[in-house]
């Protein structure tokens, strides 16, 4: 079974973003324009809107309009938008609009102001509604309709996408639609990344729900603009310090006309804009700016090998010899749960090692017995596996003097007689001298202790072999 979630990402060594001007952080502002695209029976929906408004405990009203909720959304269009428009245009700061297609069609004045300001207008879907239960064919149709209406409203096709209230199918469906330089329906990183669907790479620019003004109307959120400012400041300070230390990141900030556009909240945002203006090496782009920068600086490169996506026969062929002559370990690993976390050397080794540890004691003894003697008859006859031959050669065990061969033979014989399996050690970690010293020491172990030591060395050898294949 393939586990689809990616818990690895860039890991401990993310790529250097190379932001323009050597910026330590890219701070990106999104203004969600949803007013007029929300649930409403006037829009053909089954009930009223209840999400992201200043009504505590709001619930949809089936078949009814909710006058209070409607008027709060209208505040965003009538007042909040223009307050934010002044705030950003007076500072000449770029902004990305996530525009719901049906909302844009009902906002000619706001749309004209967005375009006059030169803001990017990305698609925020056809309607501002929940998609989690939407059949894929219906969502596919709505994506196409969003693109059509967006093009009619703005005069050009959207190049960025964010649904927001998405389904498990959304990112795949948008990738299949094509034509988008980025998709933002994830919250899983501080940097853009490439995601492959049906053999085609799609750039993902993760968004945010933490540095998002929606938390003014959710539990454990912001009570006032000062709290919002402090959270944004702390986030910025952390990312700025990381970037200054050599690992630049991206900071997304999500805004809504009806939320941060309220006078009691907007001052927190204004303080933050003033704060970042006092720092050098800060890039404030649109999301399409980030997408095009990333495509230039970090174009998609197909990985040479993705273990979790291999068919069983190829997986076993490639990795069956990681544990000496024990292909059953690779077979069991493939039959288990493999996913993106197993596509690194550490992750693949973990999957194989897990099956070795789950095996019964006789099976593990069989793995130990499958290993050759060090510097023994098989080596002399050049009948070792390719991996074992290379490992033994790395410590010079393929070129022993007569005296050294006699010493290894004596120790091998004594070890096998005592423990019932060959002496095993990760040769690549050792020299000829350290191997002989370990031989002498481990001959003094009891059976249980040495079985555990030998198993640990088998696992170490397996890791080195996997690293040799995957890097």
Which positions are catalytic? 371
Closest CA to 239 of 295, 273, 189, 292: 189
**Which tokens go with 465?**
């072999």
Q: Which residues pair with 33 in a beta bridge?
A: 99
Angle between helices 327-335 and 312-319 (to 10 degrees): 140
Query: What CA–CA distance (Å, rounded) separates 441 from 138?
Result: 69
CB burial string 301-330: b at 16+ within 10 A, e below:
eeeeeebbebeeeebbeebbbbbbebebbb
DSSP 2: B
**Contact status, residue 279 vs residue 187, Cβ threshold 8 Å:** no
Pairing of strands 193-197, 200-204: antiparallel
**Contact status, residue 308 vs residue 6, Cβ threshold 8 Å:** no
Max CA distance (Å), the chain = 96
**Which tokens go with 112?**
């004209």
């Amino acid at each position: 079974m393939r586990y689809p979630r990616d818990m690895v990402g860039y890991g401990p060594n993310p790529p250097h973003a190379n932001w323009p001007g050597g910026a330590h952080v890219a701070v990106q502002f999104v203004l969600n324009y949803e007013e007029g695209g929300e649930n409403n029976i006037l829009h053909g929906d089954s009930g009223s809107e209840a999400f992201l408004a200043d009504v505590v405990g709001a619930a949809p009203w089936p078949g009814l309009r909710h006058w209070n909720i409607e008027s709060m959304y209208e505040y965003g269009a009538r007042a909040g938008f223009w307050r934010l428009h002044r705030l950003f245009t007076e500072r000449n700061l770029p902004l990305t609009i996530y525009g719901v297609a049906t909302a844009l069609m009902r906002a000619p004045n706001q749309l004209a102001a967005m375009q006059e300001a030169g803001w990017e207008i990305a698609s925020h879907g056809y309607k501002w509604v929940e998609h989690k239960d939407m059949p894929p064919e219906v969502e596919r149709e709505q994506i196409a309709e969003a693109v059509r209406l967006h093009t009619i409203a703005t005069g050009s096709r959207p190049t960025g996408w964010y649904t927001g209230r998405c389904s498990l199918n959304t990112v795949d469906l948008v990738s299949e639609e094509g034509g988008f330089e980025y998709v933002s329906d994830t919250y899983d990183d501080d940097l853009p990344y490439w995601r492959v669907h049906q053999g085609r790479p799609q750039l993902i620019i993760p968004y945010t729900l933490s540095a998002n003004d929606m938390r003014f109307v959710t539990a454990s959120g912001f009570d006032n603009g000062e709290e919002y400012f402090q959270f944004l400041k702390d986030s910025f300070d952390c990312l700025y310090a990381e970037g200054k230390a050599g690992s630049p990141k991206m900071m997304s900030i999500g805004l809504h006309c009806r939320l941060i556009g309220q006078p009691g909240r907007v001052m927190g945002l204004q303080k933050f804009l003033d704060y970042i203006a006092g720092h050098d090496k800060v890039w404030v782009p649109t999301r399409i700016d980030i997408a095009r920068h990333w495509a230039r600086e970090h174009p998609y490169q197909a990985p040479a090998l993705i273990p979790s996506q291999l068919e069983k026969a190829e997986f076993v062929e490639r990795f069956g010899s990681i544990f000496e002559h024990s292909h059953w370990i690779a077979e069991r690993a493939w039959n288990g749960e493999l996913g993106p976390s197993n596509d690194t050397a550490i992750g693949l080794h973990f999957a194989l090692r897990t099956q070795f540890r789950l095996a019964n004691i006789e099976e593990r003894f069989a793995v130990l017995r499958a290993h050759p003697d060090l510097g023994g008859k098989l080596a002399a006859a050049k009948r070792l596996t390719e991996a074992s031959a290379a490992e033994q050669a790395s410590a010079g065990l393929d070129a022993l003097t007569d005296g050294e061969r006699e010493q290894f033979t004596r120790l091998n014989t004594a070890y096998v007689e005592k423990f019932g399996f060959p002496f095993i050690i990760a040769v690549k970690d050792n020299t000829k001298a350290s191997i002989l010293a370990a031989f002498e020491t481990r001959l003094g172990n009891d059976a249980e202790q040495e079985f555990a030591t030998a198993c640990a060395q088998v696992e170490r050898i397996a890791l080195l072999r996997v690293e040799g294949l995957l890097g």
